[in-house]
């Protein structure tokens, strides 16, 4: 095992250990409030991952992922409030609604690339945002739908529900982790390699026999799945669904989080989302113009570290590896230093 | 009579008022290395784009081994075994050399597995290793393709053509921009491939064309000006006029003389 893999494993191990200890360690050091912030970070990381899957791996910059997040939310909200369904059916409803919407808009959107693609994704999300605001009886408009949580499941008479904060945290943690694991599997698969080929050179990809349209559409629906799961979890977490989360500003935040964290890397969206939500939470209590800081940080990262925070981290590891594989110059230097 | 490998009937492509390919009917028998030459703007690359499905023809038909492939999309045509390279060298720049070969090998498959580990496919890996040896890039297999020298990119392109098991290979100016030594190496590879694969090549380098081509078609203004073997083409008056004897080339000769 190289030193690089060792470092990466240790960092991942520490990260996983911390995530598992959050319900106890965080209240002990700061406060309960930060447990819910971390839960929110998990959910929004998944949303940023959906942007990242499209932009970082397939080369499609979507400014409309909030639409699928919103469909995930409303699947849950309408499912509970109007249809009186249980936890799992509404969870499924939210995800399926998001994927179906992604399929329908994807059929049109993935015919286009670059700014045309970005524009059509914004247009789709705007159309449905205004529809959601107008259809007040169904969606509650700007006020949204408030609901109370049905129990998740019961084992031997004991009911597990989101009213238990620890259960809520772990349910969200496990779901988000599963989604990231799925994404990891996809990226390493033949399909994932086709994503990268299309990102790098779509004409060449079609000439080696890849059905570019179909692969892009598949990626778009997969991204809809990730955003839908995030939206459904956020509805469970906040006990409400609202059209405001379908606005394109939310989509834009997802893009910034993914790019600053490191587009095209699995963990980039987590880092970017964590960074910006912490900035928001810390600064907004003292200063209302916290988005100024967000803007400055985003611009600085894009200019100074085009591959995001994860890109900087990888460069550091590359240097460690280089030192490992080329010990000769270092030794020379040592002998020179030792010489009188 | 055997079915020609590639046949076009009345193939036409108009861009607005410009007719890039004009009622082109061509029949290429198998087992040959066929060159298409012609001055800039003669419609050679457009012709390739029509065959490989990157452009839709305005009218006319393309047949591959007797099968009408007009109107099929690029990936469908590629899956039939018609592979091509692009005039501007074009690989997957952010992937390694080995990954470029790997995806080219897998690309033609109808189903791309979404969850199985790509690295676990031993058949593909062995084929990639073998191709790397064939093109002599084993030592730099893990380098990013975007960081390669021009000649190595060209070799990688040839590797990608090899690993995709083409039935018909369309090469668009494969030696363009190469040093004389690189050109020589590429010509050797192309000759080797031509023993088992039908190849159509667009080339500007006249010595290369006369050296390797079994048959030559000369295009000018979207139509066929002449066709025949190297001797016939070199002796053809119209070809000289339209192509070989153009003032530009004389300039070139003068420049060369000055230098």
Q: A317 and A284, same structural domain?
A: yes
Alpha helices in chain A (DSSP H): 3-29, 32-52, 65-81, 87-109, 114-134, 136-139, 165-188, 190-200, 202-207, 212-238, 248-262, 268-284, 290-304, 308-325, 327-338
Q: A302 and A182, same structural domain?
A: no
**Tokens encoding B114:** 């979404």
Residue A332 pLDDT exceeds 50: no
**Mean pLDDT, to the nearest integer, of B171-183?**
82
Please state the length of chain A.
Answer: 340
Q: Radius of gyration over alpha carbons of chain B, in Å?
A: 19
Q: Answer yes or no: do A189 and B106 touch at CB < 8 A.
A: no
Number of domains within chain A: 2
Residue B153 pLDDT exceeds 70: yes
Q: A263 and A143, same structural domain?
A: no
The answer to whether B121 contacts chain A (CB < 8 Å) is yes
Percent of the residues in chain A that have a pLDDT greater than 70, as a whole number: 95
Domain stops at, among A246, A281, A309: A246
Domain stops at, among A246, A264, A281: A246
Q: A260 and A213, same structural domain?
A: no
Chain A residues within 8 A (CB-CB) of chain B?
Answer: 182, 185-186, 188-194, 196-197, 199-201, 203-212, 215, 218
Q: A296 and A230, same structural domain?
A: no
Mutate to test the interface with B, among A200, A203, A207 (most CBs of B within 10 A): A207
Element spanning B9, H or E: strand B6-15
**Crossing angle, helix A248-262 and helix A290-304, to 10 degrees?**
40
Handedness of CA A71, A72, A74, A75 (dihedral sign): positive
Minimal Cα–Cα distance from B111 to chain A, Å?
8
Measuring CA to CA, which residue among B59, B82, B92 is closest to residue A202? B92
Residue A54 pLDDT exceeds 60: yes
State the Cα–Cα distance between residues A42 and B9, nearest whole angstrom. 60
Residue A326: its pLDDT value, please?
Answer: 63
Q: A232 and A158, same structural domain?
A: yes
Pairing of strands B18-28, A158-160: unpaired
Q: A281 and A150, same structural domain?
A: no
Q: Answer yes or no: do B54 and A194 touch at CB < 8 A.
A: no
Residue A327: its pLDDT value, please?
Answer: 54
**Mean pLDDT, to the nearest integer, of A44-54?**
96
Q: Is position A34 within any domain?
A: no
Q: Is position A19 within any domain?
A: no
Q: A207 and A69, same structural domain?
A: yes
Average pLDDT, chain A: 88
Measuring CA to CA, which residue among B38, B35, B61, B14 is closest to residue B224? B38
Q: A157 and A227, same structural domain?
A: yes
Residue B114 pLDDT exceeds 70: yes
B42 phi and psi, to 5 degrees?
-75, -15
Fold topology of B1-81+168-181+193-259: Rossmann fold (3.40.50)
State the Cα–Cα distance between residues A159 and A23, nearest whole angstrom. 19
What pLDDT digit, counting tens, does each position of A63-100 carry? 999 999 999 999 999 999 888 888 899 999 999 999 99
Q: Answer yes or no: do A197 and B113 touch at CB < 8 A.
A: no
The answer to whether B113 contacts chain A (CB < 8 Å) is yes
Q: Where are the domains of chain B?
A: 1-81+168-181+193-259, 90-165
* Chain B residue at shortest CA distance from A201: B92
Q: Is the ipTM of this complex over 0.90?
A: no
Residues of A in contact with B119 (CB under 8 A): 188
* Start-to-end C-alpha separation, chain B: 52
Domain stops at, among A199, A219, A246: A246
The answer to whether B54 contacts chain A (CB < 8 Å) is yes
C-beta of residue B226 within 8 angstroms of C-beta of residue B238:
yes
Minimal Cα–Cα distance from A188 to chain B, Å?
6
Q: Which domain holds residue A228?
A: 58-246
Mutate to test the interface with B, among A59, A197, A226 (most CBs of B within 10 A): A197
Mutate to test the interface with B, among A209, A306, A314 (most CBs of B within 10 A): A209
Q: Is position A186 within any domain?
A: yes
Q: Is position A264 within any domain?
A: yes
State the Cα–Cα distance between residues A66 and A224, nearest whole angstrom. 9
Residue A295: its pLDDT value, please?
Answer: 85
Q: A255 and A216, same structural domain?
A: no
Element spanning B99, H or E: helix B97-107
Q: Which of residues 14-43 of B touch A (CB under 8 A)?
A: none
Reported as a pLDDT band with limits 50, 70 and 90, residue A205 is: very high
What burial letters (b/e) apply to B12-47, b meaning 16+ CB within 10 Å? bbeeeeebbbbebebebbeeebbbbbbbeebbbbbb
Residue with tokens 């030594």: B181
What pLDDT digit, counting tens, does each position of B82-102 carry? 998 887 778 999 999 999 999
State the Cα–Cα distance between residues A150 and A144, nearest whole angstrom. 18
Q: A214 and A283, same structural domain?
A: no
Residue A140 pLDDT exceeds 90: no
**Crossing angle, helix A212-238 and helix A190-200, to 10 degrees?**
110
């Amino acid at each position: 095992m190289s030193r690089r893999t060792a470092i990466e494993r240790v960092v991942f191990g520490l990260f996983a250990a911390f995530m598992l200890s959050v319900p106890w360690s965080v209240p002990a050091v700061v406060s309960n409030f930060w447990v819910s912030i971390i839960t929110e970070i998990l959910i929004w990381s998944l949303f940023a991952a959906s942007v990242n899957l499209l932009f970082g791996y397939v080369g499609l910059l979507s400014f409309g992922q909030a639409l699928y997040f919103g469909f995930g939310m409303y699947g849950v909200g309408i499912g509970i409030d109007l249809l009186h369904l249980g936890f799992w059916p509404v969870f499924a409803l939210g995800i399926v609604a998001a994927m179906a919407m992604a399929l329908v808009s994807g059929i049109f959107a993935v015919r286009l690339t670059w700014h045309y693609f970005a524009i059509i994704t914004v247009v789709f999300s705007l159309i449905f945002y205004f529809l959601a605001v107008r259809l007040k009886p169904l969606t509650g408009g700007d006020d949204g739908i408030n609901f109370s949580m049905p129990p998740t499941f019961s084992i031997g008479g004991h009911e597990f529900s989101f009213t238990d904060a620890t259960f809520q945290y772990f349910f969200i943690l496990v779901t988000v982790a599963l989604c990231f694991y799925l994404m990891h599997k996809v990226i390493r698969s033949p399909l994932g390699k086709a994503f990268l080929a299309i990102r790098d050179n779509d004409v060449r990809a079609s000439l080696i026999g890849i059905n570019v349209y179909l692969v892009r559409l598949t990626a778009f629906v997969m991204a809809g799945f990730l955003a839908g799961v995030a939206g459904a979890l956020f509805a469970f977490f906040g006990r409400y669904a609202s059209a405001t989360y379908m606005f394109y500003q939310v989509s834009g935040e997802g893009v910034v989080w993914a790019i600053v964290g490191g587009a095209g890397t699995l963990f980039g969206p987590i880092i970017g989302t964590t960074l910006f939500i912490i900035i928001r939470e810390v600064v907004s209590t003292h200063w209302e113009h916290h988005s100024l800081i967000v803007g400055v940080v985003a611009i600085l990262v894009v200019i100074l570290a085009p591959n995001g925070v994860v890109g900087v981290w990888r460069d550091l590891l590359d240097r460690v590896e280089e030192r490992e594989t080329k010990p000769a110059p270092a030794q020379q230097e040592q002998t020179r230093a030792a010489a009188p | 009579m055997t079915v020609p490998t590639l046949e076009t009937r009345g193939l036409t492509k108009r861009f607005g008022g410009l007719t890039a390919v004009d009622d082109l009917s061509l029949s290429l028998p198998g087992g040959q290395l066929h060159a298409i030459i012609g001055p800039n703007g003669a419609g050679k690359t457009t012709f390739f784009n029509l065959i490989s499905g990157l452009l839709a023809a305005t009218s006319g038909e393309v047949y591959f081994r007797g099968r009408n492939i007009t109107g099929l999309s690029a990936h469908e045509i590629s899956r039939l075994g018609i592979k091509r390279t692009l005039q501007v060298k074009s690989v997957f720049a952010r992937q390694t050399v080995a990954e470029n070969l790997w995806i080219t090998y897998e690309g033609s498959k109808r189903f791309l597995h979404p969850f199985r580990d790509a690295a676990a496919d031993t058949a593909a890996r062995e084929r990639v290793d073998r191709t790397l040896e064939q093109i002599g890039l084993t030592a730099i297999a893990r380098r990013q393709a975007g960081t390669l020298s021009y000649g190595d990119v060209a070799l990688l392109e040839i590797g990608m053509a090899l690993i995709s098991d083409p039935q018909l290979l369309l090469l668009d100016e494969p030696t363009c921009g190469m040093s004389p030594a690189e050109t020589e190496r590429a010509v050797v590879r192309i000759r080797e491939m031509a023993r088992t694969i039908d190849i159509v090549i667009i080339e500007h380098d006249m010595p290369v064309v006369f050296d390797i081509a079994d048959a030559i078609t000369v295009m000018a203004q979207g139509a066929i000006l002449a066709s025949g073997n190297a001797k016939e083409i070199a002796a053809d008056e119209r070809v000289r006029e339209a192509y070989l004897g153009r003032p530009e080339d004389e300039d070139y000769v003068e420049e060369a003389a000055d230098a």
